[in-house]
Structure 1
Amino acid sequence: MFKYYLIAIFVIILDQLTKWRIVEKLDVGEEVTVWEPYLSIYSHRNGGAAWGLLQGQFWLFAIITVAVVIGIIFYFHKEAKGQPVFQVSLMLLLGGAIGNFIDRIFRGEVVDFVSVLIPVINYDFPIFNIADAALTIGVIMLIIYVLFEDQKGKKKVK
């Protein structure tokens, strides 16, 4: 089971290294184009949650993050044994939650830097980071897991 924790550790390290590099090399608001106009590195800070909601609510985020981390670890050990998709999704969630929490503790805000324009609908997606990406992928995997487990359960009942 420890091998799955390596996923969370990898996410945290990659997240923190990329954020450190952004803070060291770019001023807030500075942008480096990677693929015009679809992808750029844009140094941004977020004192809130997703899409800048709940700015400056450190204690609320602290309480929620600690509860989420405890819940993830509990489910990982009690419910996810022998279920690799569930285990990986939980470890991505754990790594993402801890990665952004480290920022809140040490910087008072989260460092975001990936700026994406979705061309089909011409939508400038909210700026994000590695931890956010891990959280999103973890949630998608969790949804897929739940849907497939639900289908398995329905097949067994028939």
Structure 2
Amino acid sequence: MAFVLFNLAAVAALVGIDQLIKLWAVQALQPVGAMPLIPHVVELRFVLNQGMAFSLLSGKQLFLIIATSAALLAVAYGLFFRSRGKRLQQAALVLVLGGGIGNLIDRVLNGEVVDYINLLFMRFAVFNFADICVCVGVALWVLVIFLDELHADDVAKEQ
């Protein structure tokens, strides 16, 4: 039970942080449009994104909601039923789930996602905290899979 409660609390914390930052962006950033964070490196720029990364599938809200919901259900299943005792995998899935839910809330309630981090030193999409959570979570998940494969190879060699 503690396992479930801890992971639920971690996901809720990430969703809460994401939603608070987005609320700030709507209230403080939207009126000014943009403000420097680190001059010539990163600015905070208010952008509403109707699609997913790089505005792909823009205007396909129903599809994005259904696809995201299905993916998040699979991630939640993995977190609560497949990752017990695997801390790195749990962290990866918590990040993906928290970030995914954060953006799904925007998409369901507003039909678009609030983005606000703009990298000035390279041409890249404007993104948000939830996007960072999802990307770091997926990268961590790939690392988990890679480490599991290495471990499986080591065990096979020992036999």
Q: Is TM (by shorter chain) over 0.5?
A: yes
Q: Tell me whether 1:31 sits opposite 2:34 in the alignment.
A: yes
Q: Distance in 2 between matches of 1:53 and 1:94?
A: 21
Residue equivalent to 2:146: 147
Q: Tell me whether 1:20 sits opposite 2:23 in the alignment.
A: yes
5+ long unaligned stretches in structure 2 = none
Partner letter of residue 136 of structure 2? I
**For 1:99-150, what per-residue CA distance to the aligned partner results, in whole angstroms no more than 9, with x for missing partners?**
00110111110000011134xxxx2221100110000010010011000010
Query: Where is the strand percentage greater, Structure 1 or Structure 2?
Result: 1
Q: Distance in 2 between matches of 1:84 and 1:41?
A: 33
Residue equivalent to 1:48: 51
With the length of structure 1 as denominator, give the TM-score of the two structures.
0.93
CA-based RMSD of the aligned residues comes to: 1.3
Query: Which of 116, 125, 132 is the equivalent residue of 1:113?
Result: 116
CA contact (8 A) 1:29 1:44 kept: no
How does 1:33-112 map onto structure 2 within 5 Å? Answer: 33-112=36-115
Q: Distance in 2 between matches of 1:73 and 1:24?
A: 32
Percent identity for Structure 1 against Structure 2: 27
CA contact (8 A) 1:7 1:88 kept: no
5+ long unaligned stretches in structure 1 = none
Q: How many residues align?
A: 154
CA contact (8 A) 2:35 2:44 kept: yes
**For 1:1-39, what per-residue CA distance to the aligned partner results, in whole angstroms no more than 9, with x for missing partners?**
121222211110011000011111123771100111101
Change (3 A) 1:31 1:93: same
SS at match of 1:76: helix
Residue equivalent to 1:138: 137
**For 1:67-111, what per-residue CA distance to the aligned partner results, in whole angstroms no more than 9, with x for missing partners?**
112101211123211100101111111111110011011111000
With the length of structure 2 as denominator, give the TM-score of the two structures.
0.92
CA contact (8 A) 1:28 1:44 kept: no
Change (3 A) 1:15 1:25: same
CA contact (8 A) 1:41 1:115 kept: yes
Query: Where is the helix percentage greater, Structure 1 or Structure 2?
Result: 2
